[in-house]
Amino acid sequence: MEYNEKQIAIIDIAEKLFAENGYDATSVRDIAHDAGINVAMISYYFGSKEKLMEALFERKSTNIRIKVENLIQNENLSPLQKINVLIDDYIEKFIAQQGFHKIMMREQIIEKDTTVASIILELKKRNLESIKLLIQEGQKSGSFIKNIDVVLMMTTMVGTVSQMISSQYFYREVNNMQQMDEIEFRKHMKKKLSVHLKKLFKALLTYDSQ
């Protein structure tokens, strides 16, 4: 779905508030106030707070599906190279969109049967199905082993990147990087995560221990 500039501005404000305060603790009035609009405008563009959250997730997840579809059609890359591209894309998005992923983590920890929980579940299922297509392509060509637990594999990646982000101050401390500026540290973090996850995924996808 295409969003106009005003809708995108509202979505961005909602993302910031949801990340800082949580979905339940953020009202439509809060979003309208920070966006400099009246409440009726949000209702006009989105219909409700739930629909606004759906728009936020749709906007953030569409790029992943497009990325996977393009990778599948790319005949110049091997299956493992395609996975490596996907890894770098995930890392980039996680680090650039820390507010969004904070919302994801917060709402999943709550473990309530809510509209937001349903949105997250559907998002994860759609992304999983897209990634399975990449894995299946590698299996058909003989590049990847059979019986890969794709859910556990993706949980490993998401968990690793999320933990690195949430404990970055600890990482700085133990590696004497307290004085490194934010831009340089993000570059360092991306490189470290990229190398680590690519080695790990190569082992998971190509090594048969049985």
Number of folded domains in the chain? 1
Q: What is the pLDDT of residue 115?
A: 73
Closest CA to 33 of 7, 10, 15, 49: 10
pLDDT in tens, the chain (210 residues): 688 899 999 999 999 999 889 888 999 999 999 999 999 999 999 999 989 988 898 887 766 777 888 888 898 999 999 999 999 998 998 888 888 878 877 777 766 667 777 877 887 888 888 889 899 999 999 999 999 999 999 999 988 998 898 899 999 999 999 999 999 999 999 999 999 999 999 999 998 765
Q: What is the pLDDT of residue 30?
A: 96
Phi and psi dihedrals of 28, rounded to 5? -60, -35
Q: What is the pLDDT of residue 112?
A: 66
| CATH number, domain containing residue 143 | 1.10.357.10
How many other β-carbons are positioned within 10 Å of the β-carbon of residue 155?
12
pTM: 0.80
d(CA 137, CA 4): 36
Q: What is the pLDDT of residue 1?
A: 66
d(CA 69, CA 86): 11
Q: What is the pLDDT of residue 102?
A: 80
What is the CB-side half-sphere exposure of residue 135 using CA atoms within 13 A? 20
Residues whose CB falls within 8 Å of the CB of residue 72, separated by 6 or more in sequence, listed in order: 82, 133, 134, 137
Which range marks the domain in which residue 100 is found?
Answer: 5-206
d(CA 115, CA 108): 12
